[in-house]
Amino acid sequence: MGVPEKLAARMSMAEQHEYLRARFSRRTMMRGGAVTLGAVAGGVFVPGAVAQAATPAASTAAPTTFSSGKDAADGALVAPFGRHLAYGTDPRTEMTVSWQVPTAVKDPFVRIGAHPWDLSQRIGAEVRSLHTPAGVGAGGDHTQYYVHAKLTHLRPGRTYYYGVGHRGFDPAEAHLLGTLGTFTTAPSRAEPFTFTAFGDQGVSYHGLANDALILAQNPAFHLHAGDIAYGDPAGQGRSDDTGFDSRTWDQFLHQTESVAKQVPWMVAYGNHDMEAWYAPHGYGGEEARWTLPDNGPDTRNLPGVYSFVHGNTAVISLDANDVSFEIPANLGLSGGTQTQWLERQLRKYRADRDIDFVVVFFHHCAYCTSTAHASEGGVRQEWVPLFEKYTVDLVINGHNHVYERTDVLKGGEVTKKLPIGGTAYSETDGVVYVTAGAAGRSLYAFSADESYEDNVKDNDEVLSFVVQKDGKKTETVAWSRVRYLDYSFLRVDVTPAPRGHYASLTVRGIAETGEQVDHFTVVRRAR
């Protein structure tokens, strides 16, 4: 993307962002025929140095269209694509509907109702235009248009029909009813439900196949643990990656639409999601593409950090780029505020008698023996002590393109072996960590034998490494219980219980073939 390799290796995300802004001048950007993400305020161009990346409008009650430097096309000839849902801060009453259009449109909106023949409620949407100038990666001089509508005051546990459109394209018209989708809000009380999870998907046959399998699980929501589309294939948060191609996101959102148009697609950001051009922290492009809950500690610098509650389960999304020693482009981005917020959230959820389980997901692995990235020392240093202090029930990671699951751990040591089909009592035993990073990208390797359902091979000692601040440290570990090296994802079935009885998380590793490669249960006494 234009920064000399030796220079880029010494630069943070913010420094690379400024370098690129200086190199690709305002004149160059305007010559491309479109403005840069977040650089429009009331139709006036704002210099890149002060432009804010994709800040959502305060309200979507009235439709908003950002100028693209050209007239909008005839809306009747433009079809939306790439629909994806996300919960708001309260999944019982809030949902965001997002989509793309291939060119500028006027007056985008969502229609919503309880029946497909009654879509009388129309809610205006916001367009965020994202321009990549010529010379920035392989897909330069390309403008993308992402559209978002926040829906509030919904009813808990209710299924809604919706359609997305703009002037000239009304999903309520008879010939467009086939474009409608549905979603279901979270219930007002604890009920059994399923969610799914994986990381490191990208655009591929395997990514598409895993999407189809996820849809078959009928999940209430899906967790994506980072490295979402791989528009930046190098993943170092460096701007000298000439393979960067923003158009990969168009392909990804089209691929994912079959699931994400009806299942809230909740993402965390990984190292491949830092794109140096769009904002100092690398997340300007992500802020254009996603609207996530805004209850994190710092939505300006950490847009992928948030939490939500579904039934009896709290879910926390973290940004591990902030604590990564291995890929330090954003190391220290939050100045410690993310870890402080994490402890506040964990303390709050553990004090809530209606919440049984706490699930945390993020990209870099706390514990993994893959020969590629293995374990991240920054995560172990900053967050693992909090997971143990507040007895987190399940930690889900990506980053390593494998499926691996630990025994039950405290302080890096096995407190209880957890064989396939075993049960962990998280209140007393410790924490279980799952790496589910085999969603679609090329697979990695293990130093030890694979060991999974119907192919169990006990390796009580596995040679691996952890990346610390001063480099890699070799370690021999006893906690690697399940290792599977093929495309897969995670299914979690949540079963509440009356007070005094045991609620359960039944966790399954499922291969792209549909075969089960791992299963175990985490239980906790309902209060």
Residue 45 is encoded by which pair of tokens?
Answer: 């161009």
Amino acid identity, residue 90?
Answer: D
pLDDT at 137: 79
Residue 496 is encoded by which pair of tokens?
Answer: 């509440």
Flag residues of the chain having pLDDT under 50.
1, 25-69
Could you give the CA distance from residue 324 to residue 321 in angstroms, rounded to a whole number? 5
Return the percent helix, strand and coil in the chain, to nearest 5.
20, 30, 50
Q: Tokens 């990666």 — which residue?
A: 137
pLDDT at 243: 83
Burial environment of residue 103 by CB neighbours within 10 A (0 to 12, 13 to 18, 19 or more):
middle
pLDDT at 3: 57
Residue 274, C-beta contacts closer than 8 angstroms, at least 6 positions apart? 13, 232, 237, 281, 282, 283, 321, 329, 330
397 in Cβ contact with 368 (< 8 Å): yes
Could you give the CA distance from residue 402 to residue 490 in angstroms, rounded to a whole number? 12
Residue 23 is encoded by which pair of tokens?
Answer: 């190199």
pLDDT at 136: 83
pLDDT at 276: 86
pLDDT at 345: 98
Residue 426, C-beta contacts closer than 8 angstroms, at least 6 positions apart? 391, 392, 393, 432, 522, 523, 524
Q: pTM (2 decimals)?
A: 0.89
Burial environment of residue 43 by CB neighbours within 10 A (0 to 12, 13 to 18, 19 or more):
exposed
Kindly report, residue by residue over 286-323, the tens digit of the pLDDT: 999 999 999 999 989 999 999 999 999 999 999 999 99
CA-closest candidate to residue 403, choices 512, 259, 525:
512
21 in Cβ contact with 13 (< 8 Å): no
Kindly report, residue by residue over 177-201, the tens digit of the pLDDT: 889 999 999 999 999 999 999 999 9
pLDDT at 518: 98
Sorted by where each starts, the structural domains of the chain and their CATH numbers stand as 27-83+96-182 (no CATH), 189-226+304-525 (3.60.21.10)
pLDDT at 47: 24
pLDDT at 511: 98
pLDDT at 28: 44
